[in-house]
Structure 1
Amino acid sequence: MESKIRVKWQKGTMLKRIFIPMFILVLIVSILFFGVIFYNNILSQMEKNTRDIFDSKVINRSHELENMMVNQWSNLETEVEDIQSVISNLTAKNQIDPKHLADNPDDSRIILEHITDNVISTLRNHRVTGAYVFLCSDIPGDSDKVSLPGLYISDSNVENDNSITNSDLMIRRGSKSLVEKMGIATDSAWEPNIILKGHNLEEFKAVYDNYHRFQEDTTDITDLGYWMPMLQVENDYVVSYVLPIEYKGTVIGVLGIDVSHEYLKTLLNYLELDSDAKGAYSLILEENGKYTDILTNNSYFAVDFKTGDQLKIQQNGDHKYLMQNHDRVALSSENLNLYNNNTPYEKQQWQLSGMMKEKDLLAFTSQIKVTLLYAIIGSVLIGLILSILLSIWISRPVISLADSVRKMTFKDKISIERTKIIEIDQLIDAIEKTGNNAIDAVARFTKIIRLANTQLEGFELDYEKKQLYVTDDFFSAFGLKVDVSQLSIEEFERLMRQFKDRCRPSNSKSANEYIFNLNKNGKSIYLRLRYIDDEVNHKYYGLVEEVSELIKERQLIEYERDHDVLTGLVNRRAYQRQMKRLFTIEASSINIGALLMLDLDNLKMINDKFGHEYGDLYIQKAADMFRRLSPEGTIISRISGDEFNLFLYGYDSRTELREKIDRFWRELSKSSITMPNQQEIHILVSGGIAWYPDDSRDFNTLQKYSDFAMYSVKHTLKGEIGDFSLQDYRNDVYMMKRKAELSRILEANAFTYYFQPIVSAVDGEVFAYEALMRTVDSTLKNPSEIIEIAKMESKLYLIEKITMRNSLKQFNDLIASGKVSKDLKLFVNSIANQRLSEGEVRSIEEQYGAFLPNLVLELTENEELNEEYTAYKKEVLKIWNSRLALDDYGSGYNSGRNLLFLNPDYVKIDIDIIRDIDKDMDKRTIVKDTITYCHERGKYVIAEGIETIAELKTVVGMDVDYIQGYLTGKPAPEPKDVYKEIKSEIMNCRRPSPLD
């Protein structure tokens, strides 16, 4: 009876211990849930989070749009400078007078003809839907409509780059001569001039007023750049950015780009705001407290919002909204920073706004509120039920297990009585096995530790029981003699605190690991302390081991990794790492700085004369001088063989730093080294300086600038040091890019050749094709520019060889594919002062020998003829049974002499003589005399540049033999036949033969 009562009491006790805490826990959780949710505004916070997510999407999209508008679309300074350079060059040649463009329409035409490539490159480089230029010094304030000379090109597909053929471009505005010159299709609403009227005229009047008002007050042309939100082009709206074109301080026109509203809408993906397409992006202009809608990109809102509408934006606490059809529309607006402070348009603020009806924006949050309420109630009920069931289920076996453990006695092995419940008995088996394994492992580990070469000591701190365990020799590892048998926790902590100054966190990922650097018996040693913080039981477990050899090996590896072996200076990799940290984390400490790039000028001479051993000695001496003469705190690095970088920083003024550099340079110029023959050789150094922050705040840019300054010195005043010049750098970089681009396309053979037909003046049939140079995927497109740069780089021979090779191969491929008749001739341009090698001539004979009788080699009269090379070419042509043509006849000063000297089979009359020949008697006389002379001597005459029916009729009537020009066919990679209408015109205007 007594036993039953005890068992019953034990069960009751277990139920209380399990059920009551679980019941209290469920009750507390319920209270906390209700308290947190309903009294701490959790649901309101959910609404706020929803709005914050909406805001973050708008912010991200606004940053992308701002980056495109500022850094991609409106970065037109270089293009304006290029156009102004073209105008200056034309003015220097007395071809135009920029100050009187309004009185000289021809001057505007000449300028526009010379900047067509600039406008196209502006369109391509900035990936916009349109680019335009018009020339005008002022816009009259009383005009309702203004017609201006200009060029306006649009791109029908910005994402598809057809930069080779320009097939995706259209000319919206531009004179007829420009259209014919550029060979680009015109828009259906094409006009020869740019017409400003209505809103567009008002916008440009305001722009010009600001140009005149602020021009003298600003030194940066970008401060005058202006974004026009709603220019109307035909039936479309565009966003446009314009910059003034100046000549000697006077505005003579503008360069502008535009981005269509439709293209902008594609960039603003409103589906990212709401996958059900209930959101929209709106571009808004705020000026003097008024909001104007520029564009809204979702038809879900298009009923009320149209381009140019005034929006009534209201404020509700921290949130903006407006009303649409009795629905409140939430707005999230982010400013676009398009203008600098203190500029004419700083008060004009563009905003990108995300829009959603509040009922759509907060729909999910409302649903969450309801779901959360039911979840709380359900969780409380389920928790109560499970607490009761689990308490009953767990209590009985646990009580039995506890009783067995309480009665158990521990000897060598752990043994626990089984409860006859499978799961709990399995747990007991695992506990026994784990405990016994641990006992065995501890015994084995203790034996192994005793055999280790390194000293390992440990400790355990139990703050709950106020107990301390320390191995006997723990403090001997620190060089102290301490009796640990009666040591208290407080005394242990006091002893460890005395090593606080010699302790630092290790580089390990573990937070609880420290390295001690101590002096033990006159020897530097390193100890590593690792510990575990058992917060639950308020215990610390620690292990100390000596790692002196490991640390010293690591330090040696790090030093060898980061230092140059020869000079002991930091190497390039370590230098880059130091500078990256300095320019980011520690940038505030730089203040005024200077980066010196130094190069040893006479190292090669020393290596050649005395050997590399003394060359290395020379480098070491120079490095020692840099170390000794540099101000304290200077970062010095050997970048490569004879190049060094010195960065001086932390100065309050550039004058103070300049004095330090001058003193360093004076002392360095006096330094010398003794060679094997006792000869004293001065350490000769060339250097370049880039200043922080005047030249740049970016390290990579600063390094590039100092390198440029150094090499500028090496190519001018060797042995000196010079400052970086931004103007020289821009000029040099542009030419270097052009030269590098030429080298690239030459190396890649990135040339192709278009073929323009040469047509018989008798029946209009194609007689031959001329191969005209083009480049593939290159900014170098003008053949004249390519020839000029190749001439500067002594690479004309490569142009000559590639032209002959590529044109013959492409033409033979066209013949093989049946696209061109094998009987037609091929005219190929040759550079007068270049000749192919004999080996190249033989190679061409082997590959194209059967076609060579159809080859006609053209020599241009504008080039200086090399008599030796010309004679060689004539001899080769004779062997090939090929023919010779004189190109651009009449354009040079020695036309008659060249005609006699070359004795060509074909004479091509220059395009400038043929143009408007139907209107000029003098031109007709020159051509008639040339035809008479050539026909008497069995030569054929080709009229180049035929573009109008009137020109065609005139030259055919004068008995010219062949015709070439845009009228009969434009250059193409796969040429087409002449139109039947043109053939008919040729047949109709041919002068009748006396035998007809």
Structure 2
Amino acid sequence: MKWKWKSIASKYSLFTVCLVLTQSLLVLGMLIAGGIIKQARETVYQSFESTVTLRASSLKDQIDNRWTNIDPYVQELSRKLPADWDGNEEKAYLTDVADTLISMLRVSGTTGTFVILHETGEAKSHAGLYIRDYDPETNSTDNSDLYQVLGPADISRKYQIPLDSVWHYGLSQEGGSQDFYRMPISAAGQSLDYRALGYWSEPFSITPGDVSVITYTVPLFDQGGEVRGVVGVEVSEEYIKKLLPANELATQDSPGYMIAVYPEGENYLIPLIRKGEYQKRLFGNVDRLEVKGEDGKYSICQVENANSRGDIYACIKSLDLYNAKNMPYDSGNWVVVGLMKGDTLFSFPYTIVRIFLFALLVSLVLGAIAAGIISRRITKPITKLAEKVRNFDFTRKIKLERTGLEELDLLSQAVEISNQNLLDSTLKMSHIMDLVGIPIGAFEYNPEGGEVQVTKQIFGLLNLPEEDGNRLYVDNEAFWARLDEVRKNPEPEERDVYRDGETERWIRISMSQHQGNSLGIIEDVTADMTEKRRIQYERDHDSLTRIYNREAFRKCAEEKLRQQKEIGTAAMVMMDLDGLKKVNDRLGHEYGDLYIKETAVCMMKIPKEHTVVGRRSGDEFFMLLYGYENREALHEQIKSFFDTLDRHPIVLPDGEQLPIRISAGVAWVEEEAYTFGELVGRADAAMYMAKNSGRGKVVEYGGR
């Protein structure tokens, strides 16, 4: 049969196909113009960057608060050096400091601690003591899990520590990397503050055949300011790899993480620690990874010289190992690098595009087939019927009256089917979004009309009544009133995120203008916000006591100190648990932990509106007391706290009650603008005066 292009059937078929295409493209255009594709790509970047940032922050927290937090042990090692050191007391000194190195190893959570003594003569090795724990996450009650890498064998026998298979008496001055020892020694003349001279080594082996490690070392000064050696910790390369799980970036075929040096102003990375066979296949043994196209917002770039058919993306986050301007070393910027394959990173946006295109194609095919079948059965007398059709509301399901004329009734049926296809094509987009599994909906508002067009997800997201499942329009006034109600509760520090009190959910509302119409995307982000709050809580709180950790306490205290005029009489209190080591030695770390936790419980009994509490290190705590009328009231609060401690002894298995004893130092917040560090330093000095004057006392800085 010859097709007649000017016939009513052909024109109607063409009209139906165009209408289906327009409707489908309209829905697709709403989603694209509303930013779903862009938002999906942005969400991918945010998720990638957030995951790498959290991993880098976790590693940074380990570095700052555990691995390099060795000040008390360095000071103790320095105090134990004889005043008239002549180099002949090496063995006695190393035996004397073994306990200190073991404690330092347990508390720092590293895989090794050591002290290497400085030899100025023609000796071929440096005397030292080096103790290693291959698995710092588990500790035995004795020393059976430790190994002695360097040092006199007598120490091994005394402390029941096995000699490592690579054991040597001293550190050889020939062969191997000596930078971890030489760099701090050579820099010692620049400052007597060993904290400003800490040196991080690149991965190396202490002795031939040993495991690969990185070390953090500082000079060891005697009481006269003479450098006598170095003190440091090691972290094995294998242990660091355990802290960089590849499966948190992708469940399979994940390049994972690496530690690298990112020279300032350069476009390449120098790998230091690589993890997994997949990285070896991707990068081989190249010394440099060339990067390009860095995204300044998310620190994401592409790796150019990877052995991969697809793109490899890297998110780079600095560890800030040398964050002081006066550091004497130039070892580059150490970074955590998260790596992902391009097709894995962008799988979600690609899936959305494929689903949209498939739905559009299906809509076109179905619409064309339906239009062809229906149009061939249309009869000529359709003018009256067309007039009736023009007056219908096409946003609702059409039901035409039957005329009793076969041709017109067939035409009526065709119009009804065409209308149903239009509604179905709109509903399909909503079903596609349900299949994707994203709690997200879209809407469009035309000021010239009286209603808002929405996808069906909008009803559930905004808790709107759905009067007719076949009609995806809502009343203009009711929609904007509900939207304004939600936007009254913006979430602090979040863009376009609001707390919906009616549904107890977090909702992100993104809007834009397009040719005078308001387009928007509404997304349920409750799961993301809940997870973010959980991560923030774990980041800011000490895992044992559930009070602020060192960094979170500093931030909170500094915020309070900036409001000095509003906080009334205030003081910084530093506290040290007397006898914690004896509790650990006598009863084990379980009761030592209980000793620490009960102290934190007593601290939290102080009214929250008057205090900020935190754990500084193993047995040290902070308190910032504020908002009191005078010093007498604050003194009463401190006395009340110590009374609370007396009422909360530790109950031992045999029923014995072990009281909690604390030495405390108080530094008053004066009218002069003291920094957080100055207040802590004063309170710390007062605390050590309390400990040195008999313990269990409270001493004020500059007072008694």
TM-score (norm 2): 0.52
- Alignment of 1:160 with 2:138, yes or no, is yes
Q: Return the offset for 1:593.
A: 8.4
Pairing of 1:301-700 with structure 2 (within 5 A):
301-303=279-281, 305=283, 309-315=287-293, 319-322=300-303, 323-327=305-309, 328-342=311-325, 343-345=327-329, 348-376=332-360, 378=362, 391-393=397-399, 588-590=562-564, 595=569, 635-636=628-629, 643=636, 689-691=668-670, 697=676
Partner residue of 1:71 out of 65, 86, 97: 65
Indicate conservation of the 8 Å contact 1:134/1:149, yes or no.
Answer: yes
- Alignment of 1:281 with 2:257, yes or no, is yes
Partner of 2:211: 236
Partner of 2:374: none
Distance 1:634 1:173, change over 3 A: closer
Partner of 2:90: 108
d(CA) in 2 for partners of 1:49, 1:302: 29
Indicate conservation of the 8 Å contact 1:294/1:308, yes or no.
Answer: no
Q: Return the offset for 1:292.
A: 1.9
d(CA) in 2 for partners of 1:346, 1:395: 86
Unaligned runs of 5+ in 1: 1-22, 92-96, 397-463, 465-508, 513-578, 599-632, 646-686, 706-722, 741-996
Q: Secondary structure at the match of 1:122?
A: helix
CA displacement 1:445-493 (0-9 Å, x = unmatched): xxxxxxxxxxxxxxxxxxx9xxxxxxxxxxxxxxxxxxxxxxxxxxxxx
d(CA) in 2 for partners of 1:727, 1:583: 19
Partner of 1:300: 278
d(CA) in 1 for partners of 2:118, 2:251: 49
Indicate conservation of the 8 Å contact 2:569/2:628, yes or no.
Answer: no
Distance 1:66 1:688, change over 3 A: closer
| 1:195 alignment partner AA | S
d(CA) in 2 for partners of 1:581, 1:244: 30
| 1:64 alignment partner AA | S
Distance 1:375 1:151, change over 3 A: same
Partner of 1:125: 107
Indicate conservation of the 8 Å contact 2:198/2:216, yes or no.
Answer: yes
d(CA) in 1 for partners of 2:313, 2:566: 48
Distance 1:635 1:79, change over 3 A: same
Indicate conservation of the 8 Å contact 1:593/1:693, yes or no.
Answer: no
Partner of 2:178: 201
Indicate conservation of the 8 Å contact 1:690/1:724, yes or no.
Answer: no
CA displacement 1:563-610 (0-9 Å, x = unmatched): xxxxxxxxxxxxxxxx99996777544279884679xxxxxxxxxxxx
| 1:373 alignment partner AA | L
d(CA) in 2 for partners of 1:223, 1:281: 29
Q: Secondary structure at the match of 2:355?
A: helix
Indicate conservation of the 8 Å contact 1:296/1:306, yes or no.
Answer: no
Q: Return the offset for 1:72.
A: 0.8
d(CA) in 1 for partners of 2:285, 2:367: 59
Indicate conservation of the 8 Å contact 1:335/1:351, yes or no.
Answer: yes
Unaligned runs of 5+ in 2: 1-16, 372-392, 403-449, 451-485, 490-552, 573-625, 639-665, 699-704
Q: Return the offset for 1:171.
A: 0.5
d(CA) in 2 for partners of 1:394, 1:640: 85
Partner of 1:656: none
Distance 1:374 1:160, change over 3 A: same
d(CA) in 2 for partners of 1:124, 1:167: 13
CA displacement 1:337-370 (0-9 Å, x = unmatched): 2223312236621100011222332234323321
Indicate conservation of the 8 Å contact 1:270/1:279, yes or no.
Answer: yes
| 1:728 alignment partner AA | A
| 1:267 alignment partner AA | L
Q: Return the offset for 1:729.
A: 1.4
Q: Return the offset for 1:371.
A: 1.1
Partner residue of 1:726 out of 684, 687, 702: 684
Distance 1:264 1:146, change over 3 A: farther
Q: Secondary structure at the match of 2:167?
A: strand
CA displacement 1:308-354 (0-9 Å, x = unmatched): 93333333666422222243321111011222331223662110001
d(CA) in 1 for partners of 2:687, 2:631: 25
Distance 1:246 1:691, change over 3 A: farther
d(CA) in 2 for partners of 1:326, 1:73: 36
TM-score (norm 1): 0.38
Q: Return the offset for 1:210.
A: 2.2
| 1:115 alignment partner AA | V
Q: Return the offset for 1:56.
A: 1.3
d(CA) in 2 for partners of 1:262, 1:179: 25
Q: Return the offset for 1:189.
A: 1.7
| 1:229 alignment partner AA | E
Q: Return the offset for 1:151.
A: 0.5
CA displacement 1:749-783 (0-9 Å, x = unmatched): xxxxxxxxxxxxxxxxxxxxxxxxxxxxxxxxxxx
d(CA) in 2 for partners of 1:584, 1:380: 63
| 2:322 alignment partner AA | Y
Indicate conservation of the 8 Å contact 2:244/2:257, yes or no.
Answer: yes
| 2:148 alignment partner AA | I
Question: Which structure exhibits the higher relative contact order, with contacts defined as CA atoms closer than 8 Å and separated by 6 or more residues?
Answer: 2
CA displacement 1:720-757 (0-9 Å, x = unmatched): xxx955323135358878999xxxxxxxxxxxxxxxxx
Q: Secondary structure at the match of 1:313?
A: strand
Q: Return the offset for 1:690.
A: 4.1
CA displacement 1:416-469 (0-9 Å, x = unmatched): xxxxxxxxxxxxxxxxxxxxxxxxxxxxxxxxxxxxxxxxxxxxxxxx9xxxxx
CA displacement 1:613-672 (0-9 Å, x = unmatched): xxxxxxxxxxxxxxxxxxxx9851698797279xxxxxxxxxxxxxxxxxxxxxxxxxxx
d(CA) in 2 for partners of 1:232, 1:79: 24
Indicate conservation of the 8 Å contact 2:56/2:336, yes or no.
Answer: yes
Q: Return the offset for 1:161.
A: 1.2
Indicate conservation of the 8 Å contact 2:283/2:306, yes or no.
Answer: no
Distance 1:582 1:311, change over 3 A: closer
Q: Secondary structure at the match of 1:149?
A: strand
Q: Secondary structure at the match of 1:348?
A: coil
Partner of 1:43: 37
Indicate conservation of the 8 Å contact 2:567/2:627, yes or no.
Answer: no
Partner of 1:86: 80
Q: Return the offset for 1:280.
A: 1.0
Give the paired residue count: 425
| 1:264 alignment partner AA | I
Distance 1:730 1:117, change over 3 A: same
| 1:243 alignment partner AA | V
Q: Secondary structure at the match of 2:354?
A: helix
d(CA) in 2 for partners of 1:641, 1:242: 42
Distance 1:31 1:367, change over 3 A: closer
| 1:321 alignment partner AA | Q
d(CA) in 2 for partners of 1:362, 1:302: 23
Q: Secondary structure at the match of 1:188?
A: strand
Q: Return the offset for 1:159.
A: 1.4
Indicate conservation of the 8 Å contact 1:281/1:298, yes or no.
Answer: no
Indicate conservation of the 8 Å contact 2:76/2:100, yes or no.
Answer: yes
Q: Return the offset for 1:54.
A: 1.3
Q: Return the offset for 1:44.
A: 4.8
Pairing of 1:803-814 with structure 2 (within 5 A):
none
Higher helix share: 1
Q: Return the offset for 1:149.
A: 0.5
Distance 1:74 1:196, change over 3 A: farther
Identical amino acids, percent of aligned pairs: 23
Q: Secondary structure at the match of 1:332?
A: strand
